[in-house]
Structure 1
């Protein structure tokens, strides 16, 4: 049995970031990964999806996806080749609270990520695998299965209008696939301000005229406040199950004595400590903030605790983006949440159509809502859709972390012409 400083289970964004940071701090690290390094995000999630977003055709997307994923995976392999890191290419399994495989450590980080949450809809258990003939029955896939399709579907039905569903709906509609989105709630993207979400949905519904190569014709069809009872009732070639993800927990976690739930994930406190001293859980597996960048920052925070280094990471300020076309992004509460919680606020709006750079780019669709405190001008949150809205919201996130007021923002010079002037316009 070999003793090391830190054991990490899972080499996704949280796991490999923890390994890299810990190794640079001089810790001896062992990281277990039973699949490809990079986790869901790199191999079958964020990166492949964004490759599709920035490709003109389905065929081009598949070709570029393989190239981009391979290049980034090699980058992670390089990170994990650090002399202080040992990569064990097998699933990490607890023997007891301080032992995983052939290694023991006082500190262990669980970073096993998440997996598709399949709804118990009639017909889902009989879903066909990639390569099988459908015989008239829709092929049901999750996001990984959709990315692995070798031919572009003519008709795609998506169950769920969350981030995964909306991104794929936008991409495949642009490729020329007839797309229908079925959502149980009254509006798409529940984490996004309802006004912004509605405007984005209405835009995506608009008919589009193709350029002779992309094949775009109609907009996306949305069926809101609709429940699917039987897959056989869906008129499509392929059905994408996009109803969210659930923490990937392992039965052997019980060997360590930690508390976990099949739906909610591993129980942790605000510093990602589990119920067992020395064991932490970061990223999707703890169910707190299921975002790759959240996992990376949780990794840094946990390693800092292990080495006794303080930090001021604000996990209450967590920006997020949805890479539809146009994209959307948010940080902080929605207007509905502010109202429900009785928080006093003012709403400042600005529009892409009034921005010189947006006009020059031909990207005039978009709106930004900035929520501020009427008492002291503190920025409470920002929700937007439009070209590069994620970049604008990222700026707001930084300002919020530094307690910047709108009066101070108004005094900050913004380059002209840029889309960032949309934010400046909201405070003037």
Structure 2
């Protein structure tokens, strides 16, 4: 009946939202002051509001300091990161979701001289070579995001390198998807990252509430957000929250891979009525030219 999810990252929210839809009362405790810290802040705020509407509860800026298992429940003690006050609560189930690390401990790699980094990932160079000749590493055991599509692309690139072929791998255009309802999709830089690097940028947004297809399918929650360089108009990042966000982001990934601009997407004819029109409108809105808002 009740579940505590420790960790407000991608996996914890995906699993928590599933159990919530099955009727479980889900509480998420997160040490930081926001969910999914790597996500664009504006998107994360909208995302949490959506999950709260679905019944999930959040205890931000809290950490779990103790647990005590009983016959039917688990008593959990949580402590505030701000005033250090502690609260206790009981849950039927506790789901630990505080991140992953490469599963390299039982591979005995040290016996053959393969070096690991501090996160226990296998150290590789730009050609996926390890510290031992003829041994390569890709995917979850190598540094970088633990994503199946990232591992697949690395596998192809690695084999091409071994065969002496030219290859290409752009880590700036690897999309990340949160498979919840609504979905959240991201590629490239967040606003926070651009501000930190003092990059001058412009923003274009378009809500699904103004998209005909989204309205007719009752999937009008969320919006598309595109970040572009202020001078060159090159797309620096894109973030989507809404139905089929994981599908829609592919167009922007393609544009970024080939150095495309917001204007490039804005000039492409998008079929009507489709939710992809929201991507075009967001691209237009980078320069304040959106037609339907």
TM-score of the alignment, normalized to the shorter chain, above 0.5: yes
Normalised by the shorter chain, which TM-score bucket?
Answer: 0.7 to 0.9
Question: Structure 1 residue 262: deviation in Å?
Answer: 6.2
2:280 matched residue in structure 1: 424
**Does the 8 Å CA contact 2:5/2:94 hold for their aligned counterparts?**
yes
1:229 shift after superposition: 0.3
Separation (CA, whole Å) in 2 of partners of 1:377 and 1:243:
37
Alignment of 1:310-329 (within 5 A): 310-329=166-185
Structure 1 segments (4+ residues) deviating >6 Å: none
Q: Deviations over 1:102-145 (max 9, x none)?
A: xxxxxxxxxxxxxxxxxxxxxxxxxxxxxxxxxxxxxxxxxxxx
Contact 1:317 / 1:332 at 8 angstroms: preserved in 2? yes
Separation in 2, partners of 1:352, 1:271: 42
In proportion to residue count, which structure has more strand?
Answer: 2
**SS of equivalent to 1:245:** coil
1:167 aligns with 2:14: yes
Give the superposition deviation at 1:251: 4.7
Which of 243, 246, 252 aligns to 2:98? It is 243
How well do the aligned residues superpose, as a CA RMSD in angstroms? 1.2
2:267 corresponds to 1:405: no
For the pair 1:359 / 2:195, whether they are aligned, the reply is no
Aligned to 1:145: none
Q: Do the aligned partners of 2:206 and 2:224 also contact (CA within 8 Å) in 1?
A: yes
2:38 paired with 1:191? yes
Residue 160 of structure 2 corresponds to 304
Q: In structure 2, do the counterparts of structure 1 residues 403 and 261 end up closer, same or farther at CA, with 3 Å as the change threshold?
A: closer
Deviation at 1:156, TM superposition (A): 0.8
Residues 40-62 of structure 1 show CA distances to partners (whole Å, capped at 9, x for unaligned) of xxxxxxxxxxxxxxxxxxxxxxx
Match of 1:292 among 148, 163, 168: 148
3-state SS of the aligned residue for 1:281? coil
Report the count of equivalent residues. 264
Deviation at 1:287, TM superposition (A): 2.7
Q: Report if the CA contact (8 A) 2:12-2:97 is conserved.
A: yes
Conserved 8 A contact 2:238-2:249: yes
* Unpaired runs of at least 5, structure 1: 1-153, 209-218
Task: Name the SS of the counterpart of 2:4 in structure 1.
Answer: strand
Structure having greater relative contact order (Cα 8 Å, sep ≥ 6): 1
Contact 2:172 / 2:187 at 8 angstroms: preserved in 1? no
Instruction: Give the TM-score normalised by the residue count of structure 2.
Output: 0.87
SS of 2:180's equivalent? coil
Paired residue for 2:122?
Answer: 266
